Structure 1
Amino acid sequence: MSTAVTATESDAAEPRVCWCCGGTYPEPGLVRLGSHPEVGICLPCAHYLHQQARGREDARRRSPAARLRDGLRAGLRLVHAAALA
């Protein structure tokens, strides 16, 4: 026999864990996957994944815009490397 569990307001206020970085975030700070609502990704990780996906699309389909984005990504890597040094 199983019982249905209902969500309460206190459940929504509990922090959830990002499946990517392991950080804790409130529910509005997570993006849920459509077919797998149990998977929650925080917004910074979702932006990172989007950038990675865009890079792979650009690598498969070369265009002037893709080359421009490649240059911007290379510049960002330099800035991040300089900030960490």
Structure 2
Amino acid sequence: MTKTAIDVDDVGGPAVPGCWCCGDRTVAASLLRLSCHQEVGVCFRCVDWLSKRKREVERMTRAAPPGPWWRRMQYRAGFNGC
């Protein structure tokens, strides 16, 4: 079985789109496409998992609070009093 330039198998019709995260074969309408890379499609289940993972990473990497320079330095040094 070989593929041509338009992504069609010799045996069947056009290739079924799949999720780039889990590999689940699904209809193209249920895949979320990335704006910069339209070839990348992610299913809704993986979108939910990726958003949870994003929140976990954000919680692990705390940002310094806004304020005067010396307060930011105290926060980074660990003298925040919390």
Which 5+ residue runs of structure 1 have no aligned equivalent?
6-10, 63-85
**Helix, strand or coil at the partner of 1:24:** coil
Separation of aligned partners in 1, 2:45 and 2:38: 18
The amino acid across from 1:17 in the alignment is G
Aligned to 2:57: 56
1:26 and 2:27 correspond: yes
Larger radius of gyration: 2
| TM-score for the superposition, normalised by structure 1 | 0.52
* Coordinate RMSD, CA, aligned: 2.1
**1:60, distance to aligned residue in structure 2 (A):** 1.4
**Helix, strand or coil at the partner of 2:36:** coil
| TM-score for the superposition, normalised by structure 2 | 0.54
**1:46, distance to aligned residue in structure 2 (A):** 0.9
**1:61, distance to aligned residue in structure 2 (A):** 2.5
State how many pairs are aligned: 51
Report matched runs for 1:62-73 at 5 Å: none
**1:42, distance to aligned residue in structure 2 (A):** 0.5
1:41 and 2:39 correspond: no
Separation of aligned partners in 2, 1:46 and 1:15: 19
